[in-house]
Structure 1
Amino acid sequence: MNKKEISFTLKLLKTIKHIPFALKIVRKIYPSHIQNILKNFRTLAFGYNQLGSMKKWSCLDKNNNPIPWYTYPTIEYLENLDFSDKNIFEYGSGNSSLWWVQRCKKIISIESDKKWFKYIQKIKNSNLDYRFSNNKKNYIYQSDIAGSHVIIIDGLWRSECADFVITSINSNKINPNMLIFDNSDWYPKTISKLNKRLKHYVQVDFSGFGPINGYTWTTSVFINSQFDSKLIYKTKLKSIAGIKQFRD
């Protein structure tokens, strides 16, 4: 940011500090386009609690509950689905693990960072099978991936993990409903490989802001189009900052 942008941002932050009272003042002081900028800031900073996530360096929603380090559009999409009878396998753990345990039947999560493993281990739930391995081979080749309805690739060695998942699917050892690959925009070759070699999966990309980061990125979801039971929506589709109105 240049000096002008920094100065402008600081003025906005100072103005919006006392929400919602400040918005009444903003309507009198600033033109409509500046008001909209402030509203956008308010939504992202407080509605999605990105500001709180940044301060605490932890992925948290507006109620300070743990959420995955995926993009916000991904989280909102997953929030609307019923995973209560599903088994989850996760490469890479964190607040995502704590978020999933509240929504699934069972989750197996493998972590390569010892310090992070010890932290999550202290607060893990009974339906979380939590494992540690910083050995590449042991980390990737997890036989217990069989029976998983959702597989998440969000840790180390993502390309190699994707190769193992592809091989396991194409050899009929596993048949998950869904794959989730975070930071997919950083792994274009791996995503292209998943797209080409998983013939019955539909790739859906969710790009946007997410917790902590000051930039946008992409979380890709691969949905199995041939799975016997369709994804079940547990709630009406909604967005944190959506306008409450119905057109049909």
Structure 2
Amino acid sequence: MFDYARDFLRFLVSPPKEQAKALAVIKRMRLGRHYLGKCGYWRSLLTGRSIDQDGNPIPWMNYAMVGFLKERLSSNMTMFEYGSGYSSLFFASYCRSVLSLEHNRDFYELFHGQARANNDIRLVGDSIEDYCGFIKEGDTLYDVIVIDGLHRNECAKQCLDNLTPNGVILFDDINEYAWDEGIRHLKEIGFKQLTMGGLKPQSYAGASTSVGTMENFVPWRGNSNMRRPTYEHRQSPFGSSDGRPQSGRSVRRGRDSARTDQGAGRTSPERRTGRASDRRTRRCAA
């Protein structure tokens, strides 16, 4: 808070020309031409809700992860969500079905009335048995499990039996040390981790969200509704086309090998010039 006050005082005593520049930037942001305006950040601050520029609900996650989910989620997916909210409304607009748990009655009543027909929000107790173990009461398998509520470390351990073979775990706020145990457990059993961080709605601080996937598959591959990311090596960011992780170093090594193969049997102009000068030198010496 002291930093904000200091910057504001500095703005007040700055020359009129500098003030005009700052006001012009703020005006562009308010008009939505700036990134923060386009993603709806300013509107979320003014309304106190996690929404985009058009007023549509979005998860209370960083904007990079929200954009990633918009591309990857599809209408044939089933989702289980620990913790409800604006994210429940968002996920229900992309997935076939969403089952969300909520332990706070006020929060439950707020979003239960706004839920779509394919979004089932359940009010449960806040104990580990009632909250984390709820997913085990049925034998339903889910394509995506979101961990964004209570007891996240324990949820990461108890939800695995209800995850499909090609399933994905979405673990929010991994920048908080309290959840290190859950992240470490997923890594120990073979999950690969993709983390995105940045600013999120209604917040002045950055936050990180992680996507957890098993090592032997590429998540969400083959969904007809998914827009493919345009990477240079045309592979998923989680690994190669056969599901094995592929590092940038191996990609560069492949490109270098291809250049070597293409250049085999050909002589560069510099080398041709050097050989000609050598022949002339030998003639003069003779």
Q: TM-score, normalised by structure 1?
A: 0.76
> Which amino acid letter does the alignment assign opposite residue 145 of structure 2?
I
1:235 aligns with 2:227: yes
> Which amino acid letter does the alignment assign opposite residue 128 of structure 1?
N
1:7 aligns with 2:9: yes
**CA 20–212 in structure 1, closer or farther in 2 if over 3 Å, else same:** closer
SS for the counterpart of 2:192 is strand
Match of 1:84 among 56, 75, 78: 75
Match of 1:128 among 86, 111, 119: 119
Give per-residue Cα distances to partners, 1:170-189, cap 9 Å, x unaligned.
xxx75352100000111223
1:67 aligns with 2:69: no
Q: Is residue 109–residue 129 contact of structure 1 (8 Å, CA) maintained in 2?
A: yes
Alpha-carbon shift at residue 50 of structure 1 (Å): 1.1
What pairs up with 1:161-176 in 2 under 5 angstroms?
Answer: 161-166=155-160, 168=161, 174-175=164-165
Q: Is residue 141–residue 164 contact of structure 2 (8 Å, CA) maintained in 1?
A: yes
1:220 aligns with 2:229: no
Q: Which runs of 5+ in 2 are unaligned?
A: 13-18, 231-286
State, as a whole percentage, how many aligned pairs show the same letter. 23
Alpha-carbon shift at residue 224 of structure 1 (Å): 3.3
SS for the counterpart of 2:165 is coil
Give per-residue Cα distances to partners, 1:183-208, cap 9 Å, x unaligned.
011122321221112x1x31001111
**CA 65–237 in structure 1, closer or farther in 2 if over 3 Å, else same:** farther
Q: Is residue 132–residue 159 contact of structure 2 (8 Å, CA) maintained in 1?
A: no
Q: Is residue 147–residue 176 contact of structure 1 (8 Å, CA) maintained in 2?
A: no
**CA 210–135 in structure 1, closer or farther in 2 if over 3 Å, else same:** closer
Q: Is residue 193–residue 210 contact of structure 2 (8 Å, CA) maintained in 1?
A: yes
Alpha-carbon shift at residue 138 of structure 1 (Å): 1.4
SS for the counterpart of 1:181 is strand
What pairs up with 1:22-37 in 2 under 5 angstroms?
Answer: none
Higher relative contact order (CA 8 A, sep 6+): 1
What pairs up with 1:148-227 in 2 under 5 angstroms?
Answer: 148-166=142-160, 168=161, 174-175=164-165, 177-186=167-176, 187-197=179-189, 199=190, 201-227=191-217
Give per-residue Cα distances to partners, 1:115-168, cap 9 Å, x unaligned.
1100111111111121001241111112247310000000011111112124x2
1:119 aligns with 2:121: no
Mapped to 1, the partners of 2:29 and 2:8 lie a distance apart of 23
**CA 14–132 in structure 1, closer or farther in 2 if over 3 Å, else same:** same
Match of 1:139 among 128, 131, 136: 131
Q: Is residue 145–residue 174 contact of structure 1 (8 Å, CA) maintained in 2?
A: no
Q: Which residue of 2 aligns with 1:32?
A: none
Cα RMSD between the aligned structures?
A: 2.7
Q: TM-score, normalised by structure 2?
A: 0.67
**CA 180–231 in structure 1, closer or farther in 2 if over 3 Å, else same:** farther
SS for the counterpart of 2:121 is strand
Q: Which residue of 1 aligns with 2:281?
A: none
Mapped to 1, the partners of 2:196 and 2:85 lie a distance apart of 20
Name the stretch that deviates more: 108-117 or 48-57.
48-57
> Which amino acid letter does the alignment assign opposite residue 204 of structure 1?
L
Q: Is residue 151–residue 176 contact of structure 1 (8 Å, CA) maintained in 2?
A: no
Q: Is residue 57–residue 87 contact of structure 2 (8 Å, CA) maintained in 1?
A: yes
